[in-house]
């Protein structure tokens, strides 16, 4: 089983539409660990780690998101998995710089 990690920044109508909580449900349903949070600039940031097929599923899911969202763009950075997480959670909003 091949493990991978994807770090995403999602732009569009992604805040105020329960994007983080739908992401939590989807990630838990496919067994991905990591986190999701709102950013101060209106984007959503997510980090997915797990089996390659499950992480690929989450990356594809983020291109459409829940029906309440409207995705404009998804930036993806593929990274080496670290195994630092034990579950998937919603993190506190990141503050501005």
Catalytic machinery residues = 20, 38
In 3D space, the residue among 65, 75, 15 whose CA is nearest the CA of residue 39 turns out to be: 15
Structure-token pair, residue 11: 């732009």
What sign results for the dihedral spanned by CA atoms 87, 49, 43, 24? negative
């Amino acid at each position: 089983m091949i493990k991978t990690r994807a770090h995403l920044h999602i732009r569009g109508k992604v805040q105020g539409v329960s994007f983080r909580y739908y992401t939590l449900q989807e990630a838990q349903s496919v067994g991905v660990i990591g986190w999701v949070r709102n950013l101060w600039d209106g984007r959503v940031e997510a980090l997915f780690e797990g089996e390659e097929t499950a992480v690929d599923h989450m990356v594809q899911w983020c291109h459409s998101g829940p029906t309440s969202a409207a995705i404009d763009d998804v930036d993806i950075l593929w990274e080496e998995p670290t195994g630092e997480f034990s579950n998937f959670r919603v993190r506190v909003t990141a503050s501005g710089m």
